[in-house]
A and B are shown apart, each in its own frame.
Chain A
Amino acid sequence: MVRLHIDYDLCSGNGRCYALFPDLFTDDENGYGQTVDGGRVSDHELARRATLCCPEKAITAEE
Chain B
Amino acid sequence: MHNTLTGPGTETVSDIPEYPMARDPRCPFAPPPQSLELAASKPVSRVHIWNGSSPWLVTGYQEARALFSDSRVSVDDRRPGFPHWNEVFAATVHERPRSVFTSDAEEHTRFRRMLSKPFTFKRVEELRPAIQTITDDCIDALVSGPQPGDLVAALALPIPSLVISRLLGVPYEDAEFFQEQAEIKLARFASAEENAKRSLVLANYMAELVEAKLADPAEDAVSDLAERVKAGEITVKEAAQLASGLLVAGHETTANMIGLGVLALLEHPDQLAVLRDATDPGVVANAVEELLRYLSIVQTGQRRIALEDIEIAGEVIRAGEGIIIDLAPANWDPEAFAEPDRLDLRRAGAEQNLAFGYGRHQCVGQQLARAELQIVLPTLFRRIPTLRLAVTMDEVPFKHDRLAYGVYELPVAW
Contacts and interface: CB of A to CB of B under 8 A. Distances in A.
B219 to A, nearest CB: 14
Contact of B121 (A21, A27, A49, A56): A27
B294 interface: no
Main secondary structure of the interface of A (DSSP, over half): loop
Nearest to A26: B121
Contacts of A19: 121, 366-367, 370
B69 A56 contact: yes
Contact of A55 (B116, B121, B285, B358): B358
What class of interface size applies to chain B in its complex with A? 20 to 34
A44 interface: no
A53 B352 contact: yes
Interface in A4-54: 12-16, 18-21, 27, 30-31, 45, 49, 52-53
Contacts of B120: 13, 15, 27, 30-31
Nearest to A13: B116
A14 B362 contact: yes
A14 B358 CA distance: 10
Given A19-B370, A27-B121, A55 B351 contact: no
Given A13-B116, A15-B121, A55 B367 contact: no
Interface string B115-126: 011011110000
A56 to B, nearest CB: 7
Contacts of B122: 27, 31
B352 A52 contact: yes
B108 to A, nearest CB: 11
Nearest to B357: A55
B349 A49 contact: yes
Contacts of A49: 349, 351-352
B352 A31 contact: no
A45 B351 CA distance: 13
Nearest to A33: B121
Interface of A: 12-16, 18-21, 27, 30-31, 45, 49, 52-53, 55-57
13 contacts: A12-B360, A14-B362, A15-B121, A15-B367, A19-B370, A21-B351, A30-B120, A45-B348, A49-B349, A53-B351, A55-B358, A55-B360, A55-B362
